[in-house]
Chain A
Amino acid sequence: MTSFAPGTFTPAPGRGSLPRMLFAQARTEFVLTLRNGEQLLLTLLIPLGMLIGLTLLNVIPVPSPRVDNVTPRILALAVMSTAFTGQAIALGFDRRYGVLKRLAATALPRWSLVAGRMLAVLGVVAVQLVVLGAVAAVLGWHPQLAGLAPALLLVLAGTAAFGALGVLLGGVLRAEVVLAVANTVWLLLVVAGGIVLSVQSLPGPLSVLAEGLPSGALAEGLRVALVGGATPWGAVGVLLVWAAAAGAIAARTLRLS
């Protein structure tokens, strides 16, 4: 039997340094995402498969060079998968497993419960950009260099928009319901939200609708930036409005358990 020396638990309370706390939380969640098989399927394997498939197979009409027009949509898909679907599902199950309550009982400030998650999501998005970008380059992708900075801005705004929507969805409902809804919404947006089929190729009203959706705005914005070398401020604006609206609602509805 263990025996504890006197003074073992003498109180010495105090708050850890904020950057260290935040980094520890973000790193933990980043590592957990990369270690989770289902998350990897969603964040890397499906986008990779679609990147290669849509580039090499003539299943849907895509302007040529195909890889230049497919890659922006796949990057939008990757951001959506990680920041929205993956994040919502993880949040739903983390709440179920008492993680948020556990962290909320530490010295971590409340806002960092979400900020730490967003940092982790950004880390995963960075990994996705590198992997997908490298594979696209092998397939012959030639993005407009002038569009790289606007594309980065779009990715950040898209991560904010989808991340806020992910927290909104994952922070309220039961884990199983989150799982079902997040996957359904993902599929709908992939098919009809301007990802697989470009916004312009969707039928009339759907095309207008898709342009206002975060999926359509991000995919179309990335196309304008990376194919056209321009800065699509409209798309950035749409994403920021989604981020602000979803974030404001999520801040009120997020439940710890």
Chain B
Amino acid sequence: MNSPAGSAVVEVRGLVRDFGAVRAVDGLDLHLAPATVLALLGPNGAGKTTTVEICEGFQRPDAGLVRVLGLDPVANGAALRPRVGVMPQGGGAYPGVRAAEMLNLVAACAAQPLDVAWLLDVLGLAGVARVPYKRLSGGQQQRLALACALVGRPELVFLDEPTSGMDPQARRLVWEIIGRLRSDGVSVLFTTHQMAEAEALADQVVIIDHGRVVAQGSPAELTRSGAEGQLRFVAPAGLDLGSLSGVLPPGCHASEPRPGDYLVEGPMNPQLMATVTAWCAQQGVFAEELRIARRSLEDVFLELTGRELRS
């Protein structure tokens, strides 16, 4: 049973997973193209981890089709696992194992692993290579888990909340690694509940809630779509809005929601911005804090679900 979309690295259609009376995943579709990065974004309990664990073959779907590298993750798990790197949520290692021992063990399971000492070094773990896992900080445990996912040179990696518990430097490093993975031809599916991370890293963002896809697209598409576009600036209160509307192209509308805060709504382009600043110059005022307002993924999410993303 081959997927019709032959190019997909991960193909999920109509996925359903129940835990007793609770439907954790409810008719989910996913499509990960080769050498791209897909972010599965959603609040805790949205079904992210369940979806990823089904793709990894750790759980069976109750309904729907799941193909990873064209294979069924449960039935063809033995063929699939050497090709896939997995970073489970919360890592995974013997409590007493030293960081280097754990990575060496996972490396021994691969035919052509990355150099363990090098990998520990670039992930900032060389100094704790002999420290037992349970004495590593949360961020160090996360980095070791990431190293375990990468060491086998996989063609696809699943990263479940790869940056949770990391400090900003480590997070930046993970972002850089994900970018390098994509450039080197590795496909990446990661989960996160941080909008900034999804916006910064993903080619494709799939926002899920209650086990369903509520929106998907590139970060630009998601944050652009639905918004007419807004240009905001700050200037002395009480400027002549009629005069401003006179110079704007058709379809644009100027307002002053709060005294001194100006808002121009309409299709955004560089010419419009020039028109607005030229008008300000005519009025003899500075257009301060001039910016094109763009929705954040959080705005998108709130609009779609009415829920806080970090709940």
Interface residues of A (CB under 8 A from B): 1-4, 6-16, 20-21, 24-25, 28-29, 31-32, 35-36, 93-94, 97-99, 101-109, 256
Given contacts A28-B97, A101-B58, 18 further A-B contacts (CB under 8 A): A2-B122, A11-B154, A12-B111, A13-B84, A14-B82, A15-B82, A20-B108, A25-B105, A29-B94, A94-B94, A98-B92, A101-B88, A101-B92, A105-B86, A105-B88, A106-B106, A107-B82, A107-B152
Could you say which of A16, A29, A101, A102 has the most chain B C-beta atoms within 10 Å of its C-beta?
A: A102
**B95 an interface residue at 8 Å Cβ cutoff?**
yes
A9 CB contact (under 8 Å) in B58, B95, B112, B150: B150
Could you say which of A16, A93, A107 has the most chain B C-beta atoms within 10 Å of its C-beta?
A: A107
Residues of B with C-beta under 8 A to A9? 114, 150, 153, 177, 180-181, 184, 186
**B148 an interface residue at 8 Å Cβ cutoff?**
yes
**B304 an interface residue at 8 Å Cβ cutoff?**
no
A36 CB contact (under 8 Å) in B96, B112, B122: B96
**B194 an interface residue at 8 Å Cβ cutoff?**
no
B109 CB contact (under 8 Å) in A15, A94, A98: A15
Residues of B with C-beta under 8 A to A102? 88, 91-93, 106, 145, 148
Residues of A with C-beta under 8 A to B111? 12-16
Closest residue to A109 on the B side, CB-wise? B78
- Within the assembled complex, what's the spacing in Å between the Cα atoms of A2 and B102? 23
Give 22 CB contacts A-B under 8 Å. Answer: A1-B176, A2-B122, A2-B176, A4-B180, A9-B180, A10-B153, A10-B184, A11-B154, A12-B111, A13-B111, A24-B105, A28-B101, A97-B93, A97-B133, A97-B134, A99-B93, A102-B88, A102-B106, A105-B86, A106-B110, A106-B152, A107-B109
Q: B116 to chain A: closest CB distance in Å?
A: 12
- Within the assembled complex, what's the spacing in Å between the Cα atoms of A223 and B84? 51
**B260 an interface residue at 8 Å Cβ cutoff?**
no
Q: Provide the main secondary structure of the chain A interface.
A: loop
**B90 an interface residue at 8 Å Cβ cutoff?**
yes
Could you say which of A21, A25, A29, A98 has the most chain B C-beta atoms within 10 Å of its C-beta?
A: A98
Interface residues of B (CB under 8 A from A): 56, 58, 78, 81-84, 86, 88, 90-97, 101-102, 104-106, 108-114, 122, 133-134, 145, 148, 150, 152-155, 172-173, 176-177, 180-181, 183-186
Q: Would B153 and A12 count as touching, CB distance under 8 A?
A: yes
Residues of A with C-beta under 8 A to B173? 1-2
Q: B126 to chain A: closest CB distance in Å?
A: 12
Q: B73 to chain A: closest CB distance in Å?
A: 11
- Within the assembled complex, what's the spacing in Å between the Cα atoms of A31 and B130? 14
Q: A2 to chain B: closest CB distance in Å?
A: 5
Residues of B with C-beta under 8 A to A13? 82-84, 110-111, 152-155
Closest residue to B118 on the A side, CB-wise? A8
Residues of B with C-beta under 8 A to A12? 111-112, 153
Q: Would B184 and A16 count as touching, CB distance under 8 A?
A: no
- Within the assembled complex, what's the spacing in Å between the Cα atoms of A35 and B122? 28
- Within the assembled complex, what's the spacing in Å between the Cα atoms of A99 and B106? 11
- Within the assembled complex, what's the spacing in Å between the Cα atoms of A31 and B186? 35
